[in-house]
Each structure stands twice: as C-alpha cells, then as structure tokens.
Structure 1
Amino acid sequence: MNPRDERSPASGSRGLSALLLLVTALWGLNMTAMKTIATYFDPAVMATWRAAIAATLMGVLLWRQRATKQRTRMNRRQFATAVFCAVLMVYLNQILVAAGLSRTTATNGSVAIALSPLVSSLMAAFILRERIGLMRIVGVLLGLGGVLIVVLKSPGAHVAGAGWGDVMVVASVVTFSIGGVFIQRLARETDALHASAMIYACGTLMLALHAIAVGAAASLTAWVPGFWPVVLVLFSALIATAFGNLAWNHAIVKIGVARVSLWFYWVPVFGVGFAALLLGETLSLWHVVGLVAVAAGTALGTYSRA
C-alpha cells in the first residue's frame, strides 16, 4: 500500500473534510426529501429516475471535459469492475434500501445504515488488505456510539424486533461497502468521474429493466405524477445522488474507502438535525453528546495514524 495512506490522509486537506461534511449534510437533507418523494413514486421508478438523472449529468460533464482531459477507454477488466459496482452500489443498494425501509421502523433503519463505516473498514481490510489500527477501531466504535445516542434519543424513536426489513437494510450497507472497495481501485486507474458515470449508466439500465419487469412503469403517471414530485426528484438526483456520489468517490480515490466511510456517521446526525429544523422535533443534551462522539470518532478514524 502507498505509504501516504498510512498517515493522516487529511494533512493539509481541510477542503476535502469540508466537502465530505457538505455531502453528508445533503444526504441527511435528502432523507427528509425522500420521505415526500416516496408518497408519489413507486420505489423502483424513483430509483430509476434518480440514477438516470445522475448518469446524464455525469455524462454531460465527461463530454464537456473531452477537449481538456484525455481519457482512454476502459479495458475489459475495468468495464467488468464498473458493471459489478453498478450491480452492488446502484441496483441492489437502491432496491434493498427501498424494500427494507418500507418493512422496518425509521429508528431500526438509521441504526442499520450507521453500520456502514464498520462494514467498510472490515471489507477494506479483507479485500484490500488494509491494516486496521487501534485508533481507527476506536474512531469507528466511538462514531457508532454517537449515532446510536442521536438516533435512539430522538422523539418517537423505537427499536423494534429485527425482521426482514432490517436484514435488507443491512444487506444494502454491505453491497454499498463492497462496491466502494472496488471503486477505490477502479477510480484510481481511471478517475472518479469516468468510473461514476459508467457505474450509474449501467445501474440505470438495470433499474429501468427492473421497474418494467415488476410492472411499476406501466403508465406515464407512474413516471410523471406531477410537477413538484418531479422537481423533488431532480433535486434529489442532481444534488444528493450525482454531486454527492461524485464527491464521495473523489474522496475515496484520495484517502481510501475505509476512512471516507467514517463520514457516513454524519448522515443520520444531519437527518435528525434537519428534522428538528424543518419539522419542529425537539433536541436534547443527549443529541449534543452524540454529536461530540461522532465528531471525535471521525477525527480519530480519519486523521490519526491508522
């Protein structure tokens, strides 16, 4: 492994940290938007919309860069890796999240999604043979504890017995984490935009075929239920999906999937924060404690020697 990956990946990289914090804030806000969007769209149609819009934007960016940045075509191995990542990170992830969250409580879903950094660290160690240092382990566990405090101390939080919905959400976390490990390799060989565009193009095709196969795309109104629902989908696709995933994959190239994944702890934290801001939910001292734990866990896991 490159020696620079053994040290602080963010030495002099406050900009990257700010970018990741912005992405997690947008994803936290997107959690609120998705609840509204889900009342208008079938999950398969909604996932196809978001992936298609994101893929289109990435394709436009690639086309605009054609004169200033020379890119070579992906070889067979790289293309196969992109298809594999599309299956895991776009198709299976979207289907499992949509199906899982509809079968479990919001609290259970948030707790399951918060396992992402832990799973990503384990996958990076298993597949990429990255060494997991003590400070990384402490950071992962501290961040997870902070998320649990924030989520479980929120108004109306209730942990129900584990069921198939929870299994599906955890499976979506695993597929996203494994895909992130392979993106780390692919994007370093090509670049984040090229890899992301190919992955979302392939993923869009898979989701569209799935929507047709399950009969979710039988009518025009299934795709265009109204003006404002489409506007919300555009926001979700352009800001959360396209920009968010491009920035996320760019960060993976810079500092590795295991360290980037620690920032995922901020998503449910921002989700609770936006719920308090937009929906008037009450915050308590416990939320401050959880926030401090998440911040400390992120700092330990990403800035300390791994």
Structure 2
Amino acid sequence: MLRRTIWVALLAAIVGAGAYWWLSAPVVAAVSPGSAHAADLANGEVMFNAGGCASCHAVPDQPDRLKLGGGVAIKSPFGTFYAPNISSDPTYGIGKWTEAEFVNAVMHGVSPSGQHYFPAFPYTSYQHAKRTDVLDLFAYLKTLPAVAGKVRDHYVGFPFNIRRNVGIWKFLFMDGKPFVADGTKSPQWNRGAYLVNSFGHCAECHSPRNALGGIISGERFAGGPNPEGEGWVPNITQKRLGEWSAKDIAYFLKTGELPDGDSVGGAMTRVIKNTSQLPEADIAAMADYLKSLPPVDGPPRPKRKEGGA
C-alpha cells in the first residue's frame, strides 16, 4: 500500500511538473514568409508617441527624450524594474535585433534569447497592436541615436524573480486576441479604441489589479492604487469624467490642462509629453473613445488620516 502511494505521488509530481513546463513555456509568433515590410517611419513615430516609449526608456535626468538608453526605475508590489536600453546601439540596445525578435518582444513579451519579459513591460496591451504598426515602430526606433550602456538588473524577490513563472501569469492574464473594430461605431471611435487599448496601454495604469498583478477586468479604467506605491490613479470612465466633453479630454491630452484650469501633475506629465506629439486626429479619436466608456465604480479610495496632507 505504501509503495503504491509513493508511485501515485511520484506520477502526480511528474504530471504536475510537465503541465507547469508546458504552460510556462515562452510562446512566440511564427515568422511569416513573404516580402520584406516596407516601413512607414511617420507611422512608426506615431506609434512611438502613442506608446509613450520615451516615458520609460529615455535616459533619466537628461532633456533629450529620444535618447533611449533606459534606466528609469518602475516600482511595483513585486519589486523594482528598470526599463532597458531600446536605442539602436548594437551591443546594449536593439540594433542587432531582427523584425521577428522585436515583434515577439512587444506583442508576446519574449526576449530574443527566449525568456519571458516581466509584465512591467505592458505587452498585455501591446498584444492587441497590428503587426505592421509594430514593425513601423521598430524601423523608427532604428533611426534614433544609439546610446551605449547596460541598465542595472531588476530588483525582484523570490518567487517573482523566476521568469518561467511569468508564463503561468501570461496564461492567466493574456488573451492573445488582436484588436477587432466595432462595425457599429465610427472610424474615429475605432481608431481611438485601438490606440487606447494597444499602444496607449491606458488601462495598465488606470485599472485596479488583483493579488497576482493582473487587471481586474470588471473594473477596467476605474482607477485604483498607484502600482508604484504612492498616490491614487484616477478613474477615467464616465464615473469621474462624466462632466468632461470629448473636446475637454482632447485638450487635456494635448496640453495637460484640466477643464477647471488646473494642470496635471505626477507621472501623467510624462504621458502628456507623448500624447501632445500625436496628430490632432488621433488625439480626437482617443478622446472620442474615452468619452464613450460607461461609468464603472472602482475600488474605494482610502480616507486621508486627520492631520495628513
């Protein structure tokens, strides 16, 4: 009886290990045969600004937002991540990457060496981007200055530092579905929906997350605790923005100014530096989509302590 129990336990362990290994394996897109992509650099620049690439990847404490040597610290409940060098440098950046490697990094969160990227990199939103837009972004990045220098390693504790576990996280929180236009909506609305939910990755900051760091789908865009540990990220559904017009939202994305005349602060200032560079039509499209978000109650904001700031 004991021997049978041992064999059953051993078999269960083998099956469990096999399931873990299969579910946690990095998944990459197959390389599509065919002609080379004819890059549209102007579109690549639009995707660069929509994605806010400079906010995380520009070298800190210097004025040029196009020097993408990385190094910005991204705090989270799981540790501190440091944005990598994505300049055209062939040694420290992406200068030697292939198109397929870049697509797999951006849309699937898999490095050229076949490892999972941590989801501090918002590929859960980028997975919905069009492959042609990702390739245009890649071409645009290669036109920017090469910046030498290796970024420090992430500071993440056990067990979150085990990259293989990220495969299980992806299985739970990535659907792998492309963006599909809504035929009942206008082209402008669909353009806004695409930008907000793919490169714009607005939900990544403006949604509460569960204990594993996954977005709570029923409270998407409803705000919540700042994942970096300080402050509160606002609700951007009509629960909070009900009195804003689409023009108010567009003006905010262009200038950072609120309808009451106040100006945005904190991390959103970096976002505005990017959205302000977008074409007027794209800003209007994003505003149109954001204005359409139904009111959603987010998590209750903690009351300030008496005597606190």
Q: Which has the higher contact order (CA 8 A, sep 6+)?
A: 1
TM-score, structure 2 as length reference: 0.26
More helix by share: 1
Q: Which has the larger radius of gyration?
A: 2
